[in-house]
């Protein structure tokens, strides 16, 4: 079995029980002119990880690992959006309002789609989620159980919000999660670093962290033996 040099210690990767989980690589969070930028965020930080996530998807597809893409999305009538989520804060645009790329966080709108180079391929699972965590109000658990998945290689944005929430949910459900440091990003670099520390503290209380190259190295060294 490949063993990834990870933090806080080595991560055993049973490839027949592993899937790649890509969180919310959506145009509205990542592209200039989208909702994220409209809120005053520097989206170039998030754009910078797109090539690494492409590499991860290429690796998964070559190896035949299941790939799951999530997107934060609500129904057009907002029936799955709690008022507390829509009314929070004093943003210039709220969920469901018309934004630069269509209605904010509404399924089917251009900004809600994945960035062009990270589009799902036929046969890959797409989970639309109304919350930050990918397990809340979705059928992700059932999908993972039906495929015998126990290990998740996690990527996506933003590290401290939807990625961390999903990892904590997965951890509570018994999944062994490895977060790929160069395949995740935040608008706030200090939040990313704090999240990596929180995940790996106390003997990996939430999971493991490694770079994509460390996963590649583990797989290649296994191939050579
Ligand atoms: C946020 C996300 N940040 N995908 N969504 O609201 O992290």
> Which of 37-46, 86-95, 102-111 is the most confident on average?
102-111
**113 ligand 1 Cβ < 6 A:** no
Helix or strand holding residue 29 (H, E): helix 27-30
Q: What is the pLDDT of residues 71-97, one digit of tens each?
A: 999 999 999 999 999 998 887 889 999
> Is 17 labeled as catalytic in the residue annotation?
no
Q: What is the pLDDT of residues 43-66, one digit of tens each?
A: 999 999 999 999 999 999 999 999
* Mean pLDDT on 1-17: 97
> Is 162 labeled as catalytic in the residue annotation?
yes
User: Do residues 42 and 70 touch, judged by C-beta distance below 8 A?
Assistant: no
Question: Which class for 94: exposed (0-12), middle (13-18), buried (19 or more C-beta within 10 A)?
Answer: middle
Nearest atom (ligand 1) to Cα of 161 = 7
pLDDT, averaged across the chain: 96
- Which one has a higher pLDDT value, 53 or 35? 53
Nearest atom (ligand 1) to Cα of 162 = 7
* Mean pLDDT on 140-159: 98
- Which one has a higher pLDDT value, 33 or 72? 72
C-alpha–C-alpha distance, residues 209 and 179, integer Å: 5
User: Do residues 133 and 140 touch, judged by C-beta distance below 8 A?
Assistant: no
Would you give the end-to-end CA distance of the chain in angstroms? 10
Phi, psi of 55 (to 5 degrees): -60, -45
Report whether pLDDT(225) > 70. no
For residue 187, the model assigns a pLDDT of 97
Q: Please state whether the peptide bond connecting residue 174 to the residue before it is cis, i.e. omega within 30 degrees of 0.
A: no
* Mean pLDDT on 22-26: 98
* Mean pLDDT on 176-189: 98
> Is 177 labeled as catalytic in the residue annotation?
no
pTM over cut 0.85: yes
């Amino acid at each position: 079995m490949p063993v990834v040099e990870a933090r806080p210690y080595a991560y055993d990767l049973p490839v027949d029980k592993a899937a790649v989980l890509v969180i919310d690589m959506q145009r509205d969070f990542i592209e200039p002119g989208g909702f994220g930028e409209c809120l005053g965020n520097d989206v170039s930080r998030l754009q910078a990880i797109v090539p690494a996530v492409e590499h991860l998807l290429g690796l998964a597809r070559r190896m035949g690992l299941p790939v799951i893409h999530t997107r934060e999305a609500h129904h057009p009538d907002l029936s799955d959006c709690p008022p507390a989520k829509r009314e929070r804060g004093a943003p210039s645009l709220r969920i469901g309002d018309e934004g630069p790329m269509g209605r904010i966080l509404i399924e089917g709108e251009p900004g809600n789609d994945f960035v062009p180079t990270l589009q799902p391929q036929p046969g890959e699972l797409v989970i639309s989620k109304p919350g930050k965590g990918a397990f809340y109000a979705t059928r992700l658990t059932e999908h993972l159980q039906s495929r015998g998945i126990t290990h998740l290689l996690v990527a996506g944005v933003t590290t401290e919000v939807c990625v961390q929430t999903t990892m904590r949910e997965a951890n509570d459900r018994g999944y062994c999660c490895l977060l790929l440091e160069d395949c995740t990003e935040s608008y706030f670099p200090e939040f990313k670093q704090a999240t990596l520390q929180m995940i790996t503290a106390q003997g990996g209380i939430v999971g493991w962290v490694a770079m994509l190259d460390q996963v590649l190295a583990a797989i290649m060294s296994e191939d050579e033996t």
